[in-house]
Chain A
């Protein structure tokens, strides 16, 4: 018994060492730095600076409402997509999964570049809108909140869809058949049988998508530009441009606390699903 445990511990120890030194310790250091003042003593200065400045609060607000919008769109599109994927033939489903995974596994930098080409001046989207007479000739969608939303939905939709698909695949199809034979319409069945059963998956996928969205950096900063900073961009600037590390650390802790608050129900939901 004792030697079994020793063997298991030995097998897991490189991983534990790595997570300890490479993950927990860095986060602890970040938390420590966030309360260190210019004189080296304890201070909450960096927190009050961030939380009392209208400029930074504006950044937080933009990050939160854009993320809410992005998450809502991902859930609204992801659920029907996952449902269709769950109900087609296994062969077609495999193809759909591959087509969804392909963008998921492509670097965010590459995907954002694609949107820069599509949404920039002279790009396919603005020039189509121009030809339809909606906008002026030099219209560009870059550096707008719409660009951020479009880019982020593309980044997170595969993610949300796959997590909803996992739940929809487990729904017993006979429940739908039963509802139909009892007289429910197709859409009625979808609304009153499938949607409630898929809700834990939709919620879990949305919570995860929201945390990824509020902390994303590459897509918002390339598509939104410097005029539309989000929290992650503010952290990046403080850490690498103005070199205010303690301030960057404080902002990261605020982001971490926000993310953990959102993740708590996620962990409960996914725990129930596995249990």
Chain B
């Protein structure tokens, strides 16, 4: 009988995974710690416990405005990518159009092409064709960045779906629109929902496209944080950052509770 894993290796593996987790989680823990510190200087480990920096967020019009901009943007991006992504994923899954592979590559390319490259292109194109950048330009940028995620999660769900359901609906006399709405779309739903949560999170956290397309009136929450970090970080920045992490955790928990997160990662 061969011994599975040597004990020394087991101990090393546990220590290694523990240290690595501490490393990847350290900045998040530190930010959360600073946000509840009583000190008015940024300090970790925190001294005392206070929630006053969270109150300070809502006394600052810059943060409130940025929070509002980010929420509005993320919601509108989520709506758009859900609609556009569902249609694109259904077409890609069916694969009946010529050039499906090319189309698939095209739809997923914003995922692998660094966003700084297209952010600067969008800034230049918008300025040349439309004028000063606006909320609409930023919305388009974020839809492009978030779309591949929705398409991927929806494709993953469609790959496991039963192709004969639509066939059955057709023989039972359902029209094209009915088949899409009542047969195909319900099959997409879990993937679409997961993709929508990811898209919301991406838009809410995104800092490159938003940085290039910022104007004094168009500042998202990550960009407001970035501005503060460049000049004078105070514990309020930590409180806002912690708020953003809280939203991310809530989104992850929702995806996992509703759909099981493991279906959508690791491939």
Contacts and interface: CB of A to CB of B under 8 A. Distances in A.
Partners in one complex: yes
A232 B209 CA distance: 13
A252 interface: yes
B225 A113 contact: yes
Nearest to B150: A15
A9 to B, nearest CB: 6
A30 B226 contact: no
Interface in A83-128: 84, 93-94, 96-103, 105-118, 122-124
B230 A166 contact: no
Interface in B100-117: 103, 105-107, 109-110, 112-114, 116-117
Given A105-B252, A158-B24, 16 more contacts: A12-B91, A19-B106, A21-B140, A22-B144, A28-B121, A81-B20, A97-B262, A102-B248, A102-B252, A106-B28, A113-B241, A114-B27, A117-B34, A180-B2, A186-B9, A216-B114
A245 B120 CA distance: 9
Interface of B: 2, 5-6, 9, 13, 16-17, 20-21, 23-31, 34, 42-45, 83-85, 87-88, 90-92, 94, 96-97, 103, 105-107, 109-110, 112-114, 116-118, 120-126, 128, 140-141, 143-144, 147, 151, 176, 180, 201, 204-208, 211-212, 222-223, 225-226, 229-230, 233, 237-238, 241, 244-245, 248-249, 251-252, 256, 261-262, 265-267
| Majority secondary structure, B binding face | helix
Given A105-B251, A117-B42, A110 B266 contact: no
B23 to A, nearest CB: 7
- Identify the 9 closest CB pairs spanning chains A and B, nearest first: A114-B27, A26-B121, A215-B114, A107-B205, A15-B88, A11-B87, A30-B121, A12-B91, A29-B125
Nearest to A100: B24
A218 interface: yes
Contacts of A25: 121, 125
Contacts of B180: 7, 11
